[in-house]
Amino acid sequence: MRMLLRLTISLGIVFPAQSIAGAQDYQCVVNQELVPSYITQNLGPGVGKLEPPKSPTWVGTRFAVDRKTGRIVGSLLDTSGAEDVKVIERGSDKMAFKMIATGNGKIKLLVIRENTPAAEKEFYGVFHPSVLAGMCR
């Protein structure tokens, strides 16, 4: 059983987006990354603005989202270390897909605009201190 678990985790690391890909999954790519301006300008907290980091780390990265469980594989929003992952809204023609993951004092939030008619759906995700945005299929 342990060997099977190790193999599954290894395949998830080597093929992250493909490992949970299916008809009920989203495949997403990060197009924009924002962080608080106090990080990019070495200012004290309290400025209240977001801007692109000097060296974006996550732009161009891909991840997959399991619509049933909310689990995310790949990118900054990966939920493999989360203690609790909840789908708040499964998404429909009237509502966006929403999930939240918590654990170790951290929170990850993802919203995918399922309620748009386009084949590609906009998303935004938050994991302190970054805000990511992009498109999902």
Rounded to an integer, the average pLDDT of 106-111 is 95
98 Cβ neighbours under 8 A, 6+ residues apart? 87, 88, 89, 91, 109, 110, 111, 112
Strand ranges (DSSP E) for 37-78? 50-51, 62-66, 72-73
Check whether 12 has a pLDDT greater than 90: no
Which carries the bigger pLDDT value, residue 106 or residue 37? 106
How much is the pLDDT for 126?
Answer: 95
How much is the pLDDT for 44?
Answer: 62
pLDDT bin (cut points 50, 70, 90) of residue 94 is very high
Indicate the domain borders of the chain. Answer: 2-136
pLDDT bin (cut points 50, 70, 90) of residue 24 is confident
Check whether 90 has a pLDDT greater than 50: yes
Q: What is the pLDDT of residues 41-56, one digit of tens each?
A: 766 665 678 889 988 9
Check whether 16 has a pLDDT greater than 90: no
Whole-angstrom distance, CA of residue 11 vs CA of residue 7: 6
Residue 82 has which token pair?
């989360």
